[in-house]
Amino acid sequence: MIGAALVAKAAGAGARVIAGAIGRPVETVRGWLRRFGLRAEEIRVRFTVLLVDTGLDPVPPAETASLFADAVAAVFGARSAVASRWPGLGEVSPWRLACAVTGGSLLTPPRP
């Protein structure tokens, strides 16, 4: 659910529309989007580094109009890089990878 909300926001949808589409309270969705947005630059950098370090022929995602979308694209790019490096792992979603890489702290508030 959270991953779908982040992808929808990166595509330009608002919290109300996203909440309606995934059947979650708008306050919950806003919280997810806000926390991800606060850490977007950190997430973008971390997952771009993972992509470049693990990809067989890495191509970092092109910059978009928003840092939020850039961070989501970096997560998906890192997932593709990991899948190309270790195809035997099977199909791992970008959000399971994000959870593993961040130790489950993808949506925690940024550290001072």
- 71 close to 36: Cβ distance less than 8 angstroms: yes
For residues 46 and 34, state if they share a domain: no
For residues 16 and 68, state if they share a domain: no
Q: Rounded CA gap, 61 and 72, in Å?
A: 10
For residues 97 and 46, state if they share a domain: yes
For residues 25 and 58, state if they share a domain: no
Stated pTM of the model: 0.91
Count the domains in the chain: 2
Q: How far is CA 47 from the centre of its chain?
A: 8
Over the stretch 27-81, which tens digit does the pLDDT of each residue have? 999 999 999 999 999 999 999 999 999 988 888 888 888 999 999 999 999 999 9
What is the model's pLDDT at position 74?
96
Judged against a pLDDT cut of 90, whether residue 8 lies above it is answered with yes
64: alpha, beta or left? (left if phi > 0; alpha if psi -120 to 50): beta
DSSP 8-state assignment for residue 63: P
For residues 47 and 99, state if they share a domain: yes
**Could you list the residue range(s) of the whole structural domain that residue 62 is in?**
40-105
For residues 88 and 44, state if they share a domain: yes
For residues 9 and 44, state if they share a domain: no
For residues 34 and 44, state if they share a domain: no
Over the stretch 9-21, which tens digit does the pLDDT of each residue have? 999 999 999 999 9
> How crowded is the C-beta side of 14, counted as CA atoms within 13 Å?
2
- Give the ranges where 1-85 is alpha helix by DSSP (H): 2-10, 15-22, 26-38, 40-54, 67-85
